Amino acid sequence: MLFSLTFLRSQSKELSWNFSNYPNPLTTYTVTNCSVSAEGIPTCSSGHNFINPAYQGRTVFFPENASLLLQNLQLSDSGVYSVTFKVPQQTRHITLTVSEPHFNHGNAEGGTGNKMNSPLVLFLGLLITGGLSFLLLLLLLFFCCRWHKGAVQQKRTRIIKQQEEVL
């Protein structure tokens, strides 16, 4: 989830991202050098970024626009996120709701999995399909035999009629 911001940072030297369900900041950033355009939009920024160890590897901070990327979302990530600019004091809040996926296409990560792909269900489906195919084959064989028997009977009848005509 990307928490994207557009802001003017001509005066702010420090900011932090916080999560309502977690007591410590997710990340804090202190600007050491920042170039801004005439409109006050940062064009180049450098500074010190501290990412909370609990969120290490799950968050990416973009100093150019103060956006935060939260990866590998979990249900417990639902809540209110806020970014606070220290000088002048400004805070923006964003509410995130994470829900379980409605379906899962065999993805081994997360979710309950697709129960229709279990080996037993696949085997039963194969068994039923094979059994029905075998029955259709037997039915076809039966009708072919009946047709052949009828054709042989007709030929015999014709031969007998021809023999009677000759006599």
Domain ranges of the chain: 2-96, 115-166
Q: Does the global pTM surpass 0.75?
A: no
| Of 18, 14, 28, the residue nearest 89 (C-alpha) | 14
Least confident of 16-25, 26-35, 69-78, 156-165: 26-35
Q: What does the pLDDT read at residue 107?
A: 52
How many separate helices (H) and strands (E) can be counted in the chain?
Answer: 1, 8
Fold of 2-96: Immunoglobulin-like (2.60.40)
Q: What value does the mean pLDDT of the chain take? A: 80
Contact yes or no for 93/5 (Cβ under 8 A): no
10, pLDDT greater than 60: no
115, pLDDT greater than 70: no
| Core vs surface per residue 76-88: b (16+ CB within 10 A) or e | ebeeebbbbbeee
The predicted-structure confidence for 60-71, as pLDDT tens digits, reads as follows 888 777 888 889
| Mean per-residue pLDDT, 12-29 | 85
> How many Cβ atoms from other residues are within 10 Å of residue 50's Cβ?
13
Sign of the CA dihedral running 73, 77, 78, 83: negative
C-alpha to C-alpha distances, 102 to 31, 75, 107, nearest whole angstrom: 42, 14, 13
Q: What does the pLDDT read at residue 100?
A: 82
134, pLDDT greater than 90: yes
Cα–Cα distance, 160 to 154 (Å, whole number): 10
- Backbone Cα Rg of the chain: 38
